Amino acid sequence: PIPVVKIMHALENNPGEPVTILVDSEVSRENVSRLAQSKGYTVEIKALAEGYKLILNPQ
């Protein structure tokens, strides 16, 4: 899935830094959250009018 691939690149290119991503579906939100948590990040989710904003913070 595109959001997961993009977030993997963002995490690799910004190690130890917070990363923000916008997704447009619950499935993408869940997939990105699962990936981020498996990489040791906490996930803050904010509902938007047309999707979700995920803020990934390193632990």
Q: What is the pLDDT of residue 50?
A: 94
CATH number, domain 2-58, options 3.90.1150.10, 3.30.365.10, 3.40.50.2300, 3.30.110.40 = 3.30.110.40
pTM attached to this predicted model: 0.87
Q: What is the pLDDT of residue 7?
A: 86
Where do the structural domains in the chain lie, given as residue ranges?
2-58
The token pair that represents 29 in the structure block: 């939100």
Residue (of 33, 34, 31, 26) closest to 50 by Cα position: 26
Q: What is the pLDDT of residue 6?
A: 84
Question: Quick check: helix, strand or coil at residue 38?
Answer: helix
Per-residue pLDDT 10s for the chain (59 aa) are 777 888 899 899 989 999 999 999 999 999 999 999 999 999 999 999 999 999 999 99
Q: What is the pLDDT of residue 17?
A: 94
